[in-house]
Every structure is written in C-alpha cells, then in structure tokens.
Homo-oligomer: A and B are copies of this chain.
C-alpha cells in the first residue's frame, strides 16, 4: 500500500481506485465496530481475490490449544483466540447468470471507499464491466448501530448502465467460517440450526469448548423502481442460508437491497431466547427503517465526538490521523460493559488473540477517563476486579501462595493465554500497571469508592505477589528481583529491572496506604476485606521491609538508574550509528543479538518516569531521557507516545512532534507494512495522550487539573475537551495563547504553566 493511498480529509477515510494488492489493507482500515461487534471491510458480494475475512463478536473467543516447541511447567493449556464469527454481511449479486466478482470483472472504475467517522458509516461504490459485458454501478452503505448494538445494516444499490438484465440479489448468512491463525486447523464453531421465516433467516451456532451460543440473523427486502420484490427462493445448507430476490432490471434503472443483520449472543440473552431476541431487534429496526437508523447513527456519533474530538487546524493529515485513532478506540470499546475490554486489534483482525493486555491500564484508561463519563474507566477497573480470583489461581500455578495475585499478560476471561516463559512468567510488571491504574483513576476522577469496594483487594493481592517475588540478597543487603522481563521486551530474564523494582515498591507502599485509608474511612469494607484476605499486621510489616529495602541499580558516575543489572556492560552504540540495513532489528537480527545489544524496544526506565513523573525532578528526567532514548528503537507502537510526552515536558517540541507522527498515522500510512493484519488499536490511545498530556501538558496535581500548553510549529491551532470530575473543559491552543472554557455551575480552578487560573462557567479564559 502506498503511503498516500488514503486521501486527505478531515472527517473521512477515503480510498479511490481499485487495487487488488490493497484489498486486505483496506479491509483493515475501513473496519467498522460498535463495541459489541465489528467486521473488517470485506466486500458484501463474492470476491475471489486475496481477502482476509473477519467478523467478530465482543467477548466471544475460542481456547485454541497451545502450540509450543518445548512445554514448560506453568504454561497455560490454551491460547484464547479472537474468533472469526459467522458472516452476516454477504450478498451474492448475479447479473444474467454472471456473478459479480471484482476480481473477475473486465473493468472496475470509479471505485471508492469512504469511512465517514463523523457519522459512523462506511460506503463503497464502483462501476464494473462484467465478463458478460453488462456494466453495473454499485453503491453500498453499511453501518453497525450504536443504538441497537446487536444490529448492522446494509443498503446495496445496483444500477444497470448499458443493458437490461435479470438481476439476482442473494443476501446470506454463512457459518462455515474458519480462523486464519488457528494453531491446529481446528474448527471453532458448531452450527446447530439453520432456519428462515419469510424475509428473515437465522443460524444458531455455538463455539466449540467455550459454548458461546449465538444467533446470526438477517432480514432482507429489495425494491426496484419503487416496486417491492418478493423472495423468489430460500435455500439452506448445513451452515448457510440465503434469500433470493430476482428481478428484471432495465438499463438505467436500479435495484436496491436492504439487509439488516447481526448477532444475539448468550452473554446477553437466555440461550433459548436468541431467535426471539433477534426478531425483536429486527422488529425495532424495521420500524425505524434504514434511513432513520442512519440518522440516529450520526446523532450517536455526534455525541461521542462532542466529548472526544480533537481539532487540529493547519494540518489535514494530522487532523485525519487523530480522528481515526479516536474513532477506532470508540468502535472497539465504549465503556459500557465491564465484561469486555480493549483488544489490541479491536474488531479488525485476529492477531495477538486475547482482548486484554497491560495496554488497557497503561495507555487506554487515561483516554477513557477524559473523554467519557468516569463510569467507563471504572468498568475497565472492575473487569480486573472480576478476574482477581483467576489472577490468584494464576500466581498459585507458578508457586506463589497466600492469595498473591498475578494478572495475566494476555487474557479473555482472566486466565493467562500467553506461553513464552520470558513473557508469561517474567513480564510481571503488568501487575504493577493494574495497581497504577487504580491510583490514576482516583487521582483523575476523585472517585474513591472503587478502592474500598473492589480496588483494595486487588492491591493486596498484587502486594502479596511482589513481596513473594523478591528475595533478599546477602551480597547487596537489599531485596532484589531476579529473572524478569521489563516493558522493553528486547531484554529477557534480567535481574533488577529498575522499572519493575520501582513499581513493586510503589505497589506495596500504595497498598499499605490504601489499607490504612480504608481502615479509617470505610470500616465495614475494611472488615470484609481483612476477613476475606486474612491479612495480618505481621504480613504488612514484612511488605514494608521489602518496600523500604528494595534495590535499585544505579550508576553513580552518570547519576542514572540502570535499566537492569549489568546494563553498562553492553556495547553502548546509539541507534543513530546503526547501519540502516540493520533496522528494524526485530526483523534483521537473531534474538540473542537483540538481547545482548543495548537497544530498547519501548520505554522501560522512561515508562517509570512517565508513571511517576512527580517523583523526579525535570533535570533527572532529562538525564535519563538523554541516556536511554538514543538506544531506543521504538519497535513497539506503544513507544513513541511516552517519549513524545516527555520530550514536550522537556520543551523539545520538534522531537515531541516527530515522535507524535510515528503513531498518529501508523496504520493509515501503514508504516510497518502490516496493516492488512488489522489495526493497532491500543496504541491509538497513546496518540491521544501525546496531544493532551504531551502538547497540552495536562496533569492532575493536588486534585487540580494543570496544563503547560505548547504547539508544534506545523500546526496553526489545536483544541480538545476533557471531562474532569464531571466538568467539561475545552482547551484551545494556538501559536500565541491557550484558551480555556468549561461548562458547569460553579467556578473552578486550574493551573496553567504552574499558575493558578480561575475559570467561570461559559467564559473563555485566555492565557
């Protein structure tokens, strides 16, 4: 895919011209989702060219049997796979016995895709000269309703350009689907019933092993020239059902098919009621009608944008990029269901499996806290609380006891899915990110209630884990943490990763602090939690001893914390001095070479400075940034945002902007030549952070919102809104000033560039 393949437009993603080479990439980029389900932008009609078919239902996964070379104790038995679900979007189009298939047409012209992010729909249009010399023009609109989140809608309009013909439109449901990344070529679905009723059809299927019951459904109607067309035939096979509409269409006339479809699933309904629930959705949809559903869709998206839009003036590509990121995050997770989470590929591909990584806590929660009601972020926290028992079971499997909790690296249901020992068993810092998110949630929202209700138990389980995971080194007379992998996954099995040690100490301190706070302020909760966890003062004292005597590798000469023991033994050649031909090192170098090099995949020590910025002076940050960034290859999509924020903090706007650019259009411009596998959803939150926390300098300091606004010289102005404790603050920054306004009843105080600024409801303050 060309890097200019996507047309510049502030609100839409547009592709013009048909290029079979780009079909799979575009299928990713034009994916649509509504938090409950989503699909890649596969063609509705048959396509025999290269395609990667994907429809996904949130929370419906398959426990694929693990594949390893050599089994190690503690490995999970399975790897939860994001599941390709039955296809409800298909519409076969046959013109005089010739099937429409863009891969076999004599000519395809005026091909265009548009993903309208403002209103939340996807449209595709083209002209095609079929092998039988009939030329048609098609326009297909599709969206997944935000209001009725079990429903999707398609309008497929076909015009005959050069002759009369008999047109058959055959909307179908197909449960005979497979996953591209199945480990053992297993089948994941079992179809139990295929049924139809007038213009509706249903396929009941459940996932094998996990037994998620689903009903994939559709309803179709067709008309031509204002005349409604009757169903000619209904055909069924074991896992397929189609409705046939046949009509003789004259040259210059159109035939239009409207198809509603989607899924009802046992997560939301009784298994026996799935068809009934599907009929209910279809009844509602029919009553409203396609056009009005589309209008409601625009309204729903408008409400999301009202809160989360970032407007950039003077840079259309940047504008398009940031909106694409915000749009995709909202397509993936809307903050309405604590059983769901933010998959790294959302509804755009199968890769990575699982839905939940530490990305959620470290990168996504700030976005959800600031652009939605606090309940959204709270749901993400609750998700982890619901998985606490499984985190305890996971730790137990690895030899920890007494209620120590280790959250999984990758999960769907709380169980660990990943199975590389250096990650699964050793990349344990993820546990700290979950505690940090609790702290961060309270710091930002001021909602303490989560901690006594749920968070404290999570914090105690995590503290117990860290306490058991360290050991006392007689040699160092300190507690050390051996055999870990930090956020920089280009180091494995290292000793005393500074970030992990620091986070562990912080987690223990924070847990003890909250324990005492809950004891004082929420005695009932305290009693319940102590009863459940059997925590003793003696245990707390032991934790404290660990936290107070944790070892941190430090280089006295340079006055920097070392990423891990022995880091200075490496050959410290900066990335800039590496031959270009060696990059990216994860594609060019063998793993041992990467491991013994000083090269850093993503922020590691600096991730700690990001989380705990207020623990260190700007000079200390600068010293560490200047030491580590030159060794950082940023080969994770989660890397540039942290560096962008820190560069901005250090007043290095050129560098901050350069980092910003590396993720803001990562997928749109397909930097890594892999967009066909799906989008990088979680890193999109990092782009949002780069603007709001980086350029805008937003922080919460002593319960007050604080900004240090700067602007990249490439932009004229930018603006964003944040929801801070139920007040909506709008921030606009141009070359010369920053402007603040907020909606609310009472005056509020913020800090701008370290000075107190009072805001009055409805008034704009210029700084």
A472/B571 in contact, CB under 8 A: yes
B73/A590 in contact, CB under 8 A: yes
B-contact 0/1 string along A371-399, CB 8 Å cutoff = 00000000000000000000000000111
B421/A73 in contact, CB under 8 A: no
Q: Which residues of chain B are near A476, meaning CB under 8 Å?
A: 569
B426/A592 in contact, CB under 8 A: yes
Q: Which residues of chain B are near A757, meaning CB under 8 Å?
A: none
Q: In angstroms, how far is the closest chain B Cβ from the Cβ of A456?
A: 27
B495/A493 in contact, CB under 8 A: no
A492/B493 in contact, CB under 8 A: yes
Complex partner residue of A570 from B70, B399, B482, CB under 8 angstroms: B482
Complex partner residue of A397 from B397, B566, B571, B590, CB under 8 angstroms: B590
B-contact 0/1 string along A397-409, CB 8 Å cutoff = 1110000000000
Q: Which residues of chain B are near A426, meaning CB under 8 Å?
A: 592
The complex places the Cα of A397 from the Cα of B72 at a distance, in Å, of 27
B-contact 0/1 string along A587-609, CB 8 Å cutoff = 11111110110000000000000
The reply on A227 being an interface residue by CB < 8 A is no
Closest B residue to A551 using CB positions? B569
The complex places the Cα of A36 from the Cα of B121 at a distance, in Å, of 70
A569/B482 in contact, CB under 8 A: yes
Given the known inter-chain contacts A495-B569, A566-B565, A569-B495, please indicate yes or no for A73 contacting B475, CB distance below 8 A.
no
Complex partner residue of A73 from B474, B480, B566, B587, CB under 8 angstroms: B587
Complex partner residue of A69 from B68, B474, B480, B591, CB under 8 angstroms: B68
B-contact 0/1 string along A556-585, CB 8 Å cutoff = 000000000110111110000000000000
B72/A69 in contact, CB under 8 A: no
B-contact 0/1 string along A476-507, CB 8 Å cutoff = 10001011000000001111000000000000
Complex partner residue of A493 from B69, B480, B493, B565, CB under 8 angstroms: B493
Complex partner residue of A72 from B480, B566, B590, CB under 8 angstroms: B590
The complex places the Cα of A587 from the Cα of B71 at a distance, in Å, of 11
B590/A399 in contact, CB under 8 A: yes
Quick one: which of A66, A398, A426, A591 has the most chain B CB within 10 A? A591
Q: Which residues of chain B are near A471, meaning CB under 8 Å?
A: 569-571, 596
Q: Which residues of chain B are near A69, meaning CB under 8 Å?
A: 66-69, 419-420
The reply on A473 being an interface residue by CB < 8 A is yes
The reply on A74 being an interface residue by CB < 8 A is yes
The complex places the Cα of A472 from the Cα of B571 at a distance, in Å, of 7
B398/A590 in contact, CB under 8 A: yes
Q: Which residues of chain B are near A156, meaning CB under 8 Å?
A: none
The reply on A324 being an interface residue by CB < 8 A is no
The complex places the Cα of A677 from the Cα of B398 at a distance, in Å, of 28
Majority-rule SS of A interface residues: loop
Q: Which residues of chain B are near A73, meaning CB under 8 Å?
A: 586-591
Q: In angstroms, how far is the closest chain B Cβ from the Cβ of A613?
A: 29
The complex places the Cα of A589 from the Cα of B72 at a distance, in Å, of 9
The reply on A61 being an interface residue by CB < 8 A is no
Closest B residue to A588 using CB positions? B73
B72/A591 in contact, CB under 8 A: yes
The complex places the Cα of A587 from the Cα of B74 at a distance, in Å, of 10
A475/B569 in contact, CB under 8 A: yes
Closest B residue to A428 using CB positions? B592
B568/A473 in contact, CB under 8 A: yes
Q: Which residues of chain B are near A466, meaning CB under 8 Å?
A: none
Q: Which residues of chain B are near A569, meaning CB under 8 Å?
A: 471, 473, 475-476, 480, 482, 495, 565
Q: Report A633-680 residues with CB < 8 Å from chain B CB.
A: none
Q: In angstroms, how far is the closest chain B Cβ from the Cβ of A186?
A: 13
Q: Which residues of chain B are near A566, meaning CB under 8 Å?
A: 482, 495, 565-566
The reply on A367 being an interface residue by CB < 8 A is no
Q: Report A440-488 residues with CB < 8 Å from chain B CB.
A: 471-476, 480, 482-483
The reply on A260 being an interface residue by CB < 8 A is no
The reply on A425 being an interface residue by CB < 8 A is yes
Q: Which residues of chain B are near A67, meaning CB under 8 Å?
A: 67-69
The complex places the Cα of A426 from the Cα of B594 at a distance, in Å, of 12
Nearest 5 pairs of A and B residues by beta carbon: A74-B590, A425-B592, A482-B596, A483-B596, A475-B568
A: residues with CB less than 8 A from B are 66-70, 72-74, 397-399, 419-421, 425-426, 471-476, 480, 482-483, 492-495, 565-566, 568-572, 586-593, 595-596
Give 10 A-B contacts (CB < 8 Å), ordered by A residue. A73-B590, A74-B591, A74-B592, A397-B590, A398-B590, A421-B591, A471-B569, A471-B596, A492-B492, A492-B493
